[in-house]
Amino acid sequence: MIETRFTREFNVQHPIVQGGMQWVGRAEMVAPVADAGALGFLTALTQPTPEALVKEIARTREMTDRPFGVNLTILPAISPPPYAEYRAAIIESGIRTVETAGFSPADHMPAFKAAGIKVIHKCTSVRHALKAESLGVDAVSIDGFECAGHPGEDDVPGLILIAAAARRVTVPIIASGGIADARGLVAALALGADAVNMGTRFMCTVEAPIHEKVKRRIVASTELDTTLIFRTLRNTSRVAVNTISNEVVEILRAGGEFADVRDLVAGVRGREVYETGDLERGLWTVGQSQALIEDIPTVADLVHRMVAEAEEIISGKLGPLVVAR
Ligand SMILES: Cc1cc2nc3c(=O)[nH]c(=O)nc-3n(C[C@H](O)[C@H](O)[C@H](O)COP(=O)(O)O)c2cc1C
């Protein structure tokens, strides 16, 4: 067992988190993560309505007795989803841990705190981590530049970012982005983190509710097979390289605007990639950590193997490096 401030304060067996994943973070993903003793998050906005989220929470509870959380991603949108209603659905369902991401959690903190909910805010810079801490979050999850999804605009990789955050942040830190195995877990602990958060690695498990072809593509891919879209719009997102992401990059690089790529980047097309396994259908999110992924284990095998190998690295491999002279 590896015990950290995170495992104690969040009452989780292992210092491993499965962060929110649009279209992937459903009951089928989260329940086995909870059963394996890690902390999984349903993704609120994967559900079309707050009522559907309430049902998804209930469905997850039918699949596991262990606690799990809900991710609430706040992103710029022309017609934003009803965030206050999703928040109410989370609170009324009795969820005890929330992962916020995308934008400051300030508007949501009073209601979550009044309900006694622990909030982990996921961000991409030390300044945002400090800001979240000042708002009263219970932990920060910090995504390095390697991560799948939104790495922010600072382009600071996790090796620097986590260590820089650990110098200043006082609440527990969850290192996120680029972590897919025991080596990443041990490295994150060495940098000063109290746990790790993984997205891409959990996508590539037996239970992840996405098409087998997506999982096999992740296994076959390298660290070079992701690209950054929306750079010129300052809303960068790391996705898989395919014809659609290449086209989006080209159009924006040539001076195009969001309206010129709107149809290509439609969320529904990304959802169809996961449903049909047609890898060229739309944008799909994946991180550079796919380079480290060589198999499609069950969630339980993944979590238990990661912890066992991390213990072996710490006490078997690293311990003996220290010699008395
Ligand atoms: C398919 C996919 C969808 C994601 N969707 C979201 C999301 O909706 N909200 C969010 O906060 N993070 C989202 N993320 C980011 C993950 O929660 C996590 O921060 C990230 O995957 C960490 O990097 P890694 O993939 O290298 O482990 C997504 C990641 C993936 C792989």
For residue 297 and ligand 1, the question of a CB distance below 6 A is answered with: no
Which tokens is 54 given? 């309430």
For residue 285 and ligand 1, the question of a CB distance below 6 A is answered with: yes
Residue minimizing CA distance to atom 9 of ligand 1:
20
- Are 177 and 162 in contact, with CB atoms under 8 Å apart? no
pLDDT attached to residue 247: 97
pLDDT in tens, 259-272: 999 999 999 999 99
Whole-model pTM over 0.95: yes
The pLDDT of residue 76 is above 80: no
Mean pLDDT of the chain: 97
For residue 152, the CA-to-ligand 1 centroid distance in Å is 13
The pLDDT of residue 156 is above 90: yes
The minimum-distance atom of ligand 1 relative to the CA of 46 is 8
pLDDT attached to residue 324: 87
Residue minimizing CA distance to atom 7 of ligand 1:
21
pLDDT attached to residue 79: 83
195-198 and 16-18 strand pairing = parallel
DSSP state letters, 10-76: TT-SSSEEE---TTT-SHHHHHHHHHTTSEEEEEGGGSSSHHHHHHHHHHHHHH-SS--EEEEE---
Share of the chain above pLDDT 90, in %: 98
Residues in the chain: 325
Per DSSP, the three-state class of 322 is coil
Tell me how far apart the alpha carbons of residues 193 and 187 are, in angstroms, rounded to a whole number: 9
* CB burial string 157-192: b at 16+ within 10 A, e below: ebbebbebbbeebebbbbbbbbbbbbebbbbbbebe
Q: How far is CA 288 from the centre of its chain?
A: 13
The pLDDT of residue 107 is above 80: yes
Tell me how far apart the alpha carbons of residues 18 and 10 are, in angstroms, rounded to a whole number: 14
The minimum-distance atom of ligand 1 relative to the CA of 99 is 11
For residue 22 and ligand 1, the question of a CB distance below 6 A is answered with: yes
For residue 293 and ligand 1, the question of a CB distance below 6 A is answered with: no
The minimum-distance atom of ligand 1 relative to the CA of 176 is 22
For residue 21 and ligand 1, the question of a CB distance below 6 A is answered with: yes
The pLDDT of residue 50 is above 80: yes
pLDDT in tens, 184-234: 999 999 999 999 999 999 999 999 999 999 999 999 999 999 999 999 999
For residue 170, the CA-to-ligand 1 centroid distance in Å is 24
User: Positive or negative CA dihedral for 270, 26, 77, 153?
Assistant: negative
The pLDDT of residue 77 is above 90: no
In the predicted model, what is the mean pLDDT of residues 249-256?
Answer: 95
DSSP state letters, 135-177: TT-SEEEEE-TTSSB---SS---HHHHHHHHHHH--S-EEEES
Residue minimizing CA distance to atom 6 of ligand 1:
21
Residue minimizing CA distance to atom 3 of ligand 1:
21
pLDDT attached to residue 116: 98
The minimum-distance atom of ligand 1 relative to the CA of 101 is 11
Per DSSP, the three-state class of 315 is helix
The minimum-distance atom of ligand 1 relative to the CA of 200 is 25
CA atoms within 13 A on the CB side of 177: 27
Burial environment of residue 256 by CB neighbours within 10 A (0 to 12, 13 to 18, 19 or more): middle
For residue 134, the CA-to-ligand 1 centroid distance in Å is 24
Tell me how far apart the alpha carbons of residues 85 and 54 are, in angstroms, rounded to a whole number: 11
For residue 43 and ligand 1, the question of a CB distance below 6 A is answered with: yes
pLDDT attached to residue 78: 74
Specify the amino acid at residue 302. Answer: L
Specify the amino acid at residue 292. Answer: L
pLDDT band at 28 (very low <50, low <70, confident <90, very high): very high
